[in-house]
């Protein structure tokens, strides 16, 4: 990673400024890959399997470079803004961060989102055999080549629902922690930007919750024998959605760069 390259890319009109700030990081499914600077920067790394392997030296070298460049750019920005990073009381700062972290975890919606990650983990663990059986059943049907039967289509639908659930399982919690932290920071520091950023993160969480609800609904059709456990998850997610909407009433109106032309919740990304 090269600082000059980042600066050059940041001024490239092909890219939508900040499009990557409020996305769900699911680049494989994103329509803005050609307009996203973050994606352009990560393309080289994706091409190099060594930098994707945590046990490889190249992975750690690359991480070191990222930290180094990020810190250099942070220092430059601070200087331009007249902020003396050395003047920050690091002990006081660490104390404040710890307080924010604790408060974030105490929010009812972050607690509910964390509980959801566990519920999903439990569901997959308990239903490992069921999922395997379904896979084998669909494979047998495909091999039998029964006229009119489309087990391949059913398999793809199930796979899509499972991928959606897994993608957002932890992301909802992470985004809500970020949203909570933004709100708390905004109040503490009287900073206008933080609550706006919080609404953006909450909106990404809302989208994740709604897509997860749809995916669980799809799974319910394919696994009716799991009605009780799936309904529990759906009830939990719907409750979480209400909590998030109450805590962040302006989140849906937040206009994510690129994704929301009108600032309305656009689910077509």
Positions in the binding site for ligand SF4 (CB under 6 A)? 19-20, 23, 25-27, 30, 32-33, 36, 38-39
Q: Are 152 and 209 in contact (CB under 8 A)?
A: no
Q: How many angstroms separate the CA atoms of 58 and 39, rounded?
A: 20
Residue 36 Cβ vs ligand SF4, minimum distance, rounded to whole Å: 3
Rank residues 37 and 104 by Cβ distance to ligand SF4 and give the closer one.
37
Residue 170 Cβ vs ligand SF4, minimum distance, rounded to whole Å: 16
Q: Which residue bears the tokens 């922690």?
A: 177
Residue 14 Cβ vs ligand SF4, minimum distance, rounded to whole Å: 13
Rank residues 27 and 100 by Cβ distance to ligand SF4 and give the closer one.
27
Residue 245 Cβ vs ligand SF4, minimum distance, rounded to whole Å: 24
Residue 90 Cβ vs ligand SF4, minimum distance, rounded to whole Å: 31
Residue 257 Cβ vs ligand SF4, minimum distance, rounded to whole Å: 9
Residue 169 Cβ vs ligand SF4, minimum distance, rounded to whole Å: 17
Rank residues 32 and 109 by Cβ distance to ligand SF4 and give the closer one.
32
Q: How many angstroms separate the CA atoms of 109 and 245, rounded?
A: 10
Q: How many angstroms separate the CA atoms of 141 and 135, rounded?
A: 10
Q: How many angstroms separate the CA atoms of 129 and 76, rounded?
A: 55
Task: Report helix, strand and coil shares of the chain as percent, to nearest 5.
Answer: 75, 0, 25
Closest to 195 measured CA to CA, from 264, 251, 114: 251
Rank residues 112 and 209 by Cβ distance to ligand SF4 and give the closer one.
209
Rank residues 76 and 267 by Cβ distance to ligand SF4 and give the closer one.
267
Please provide the DSSP assignment of 192-230 as one string. Answer: SHHHHHHHHHHHHHHHHHHHHHHHHHHHHHH-GGGHHHH
Rank residues 33 and 96 by Cβ distance to ligand SF4 and give the closer one.
33
Closest to 19 measured CA to CA, from 1, 34, 6: 34
Rank residues 47 and 192 by Cβ distance to ligand SF4 and give the closer one.
47
Residue 143, token pair as written in the block: 């091999």
């Amino acid at each position: 990673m090269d600082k000059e390259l980042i600066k050059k890319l940041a001024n490239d009109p092909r890219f939508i400024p900040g499009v990557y700030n409020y996305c769900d990081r699911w680049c494989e499914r994103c329509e803005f890959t050609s307009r996203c600077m973050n994606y352009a920067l990560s393309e080289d790394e994706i091409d190099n399997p060594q930098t994707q392997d945590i046990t490889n030296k190249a992975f750690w070298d690359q991480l070191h470079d990222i930290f180094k460049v990020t810190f250099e750019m942070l220092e430059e920005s601070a200087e331009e803004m007249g902020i003396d990073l050395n003047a920050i009381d690091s002990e006081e700062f660490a104390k404040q961060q710890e307080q924010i972290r604790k408060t974030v975890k105490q929010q009812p919606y972050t607690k509910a989102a964390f509980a959801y990650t566990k519920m999903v983990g439990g569901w997959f663990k308990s239903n490992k055999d069921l999922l395997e059986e379904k896979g084998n059943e669909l494979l047998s049907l495909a091999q039998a080549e029964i006229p009119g039967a489309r087990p391949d289509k059913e398999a793809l639908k199930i796979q899509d629902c499972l991928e959606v659930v897994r993608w957002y399982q932890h992301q909802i919690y992470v985004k809500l922690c970020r949203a909570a932290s933004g709100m708390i920071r905004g109040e503490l520091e009287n900073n206008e930007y933080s609550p706006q950023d919080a609404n953006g993160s909450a909106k990404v969480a809302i989208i994740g919750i709604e897509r997860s609800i749809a995916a669980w609904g799809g799974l319910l059709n394919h696994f009716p024998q799991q009605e009780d456990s799936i309904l529990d998850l759906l009830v939990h997610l719907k409750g979480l959605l209400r909590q998030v909407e109450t805590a962040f009433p302006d989140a849906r109106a937040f206009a994510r760069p690129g994704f929301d032309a009108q600032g309305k919740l656009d689910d077509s990304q």
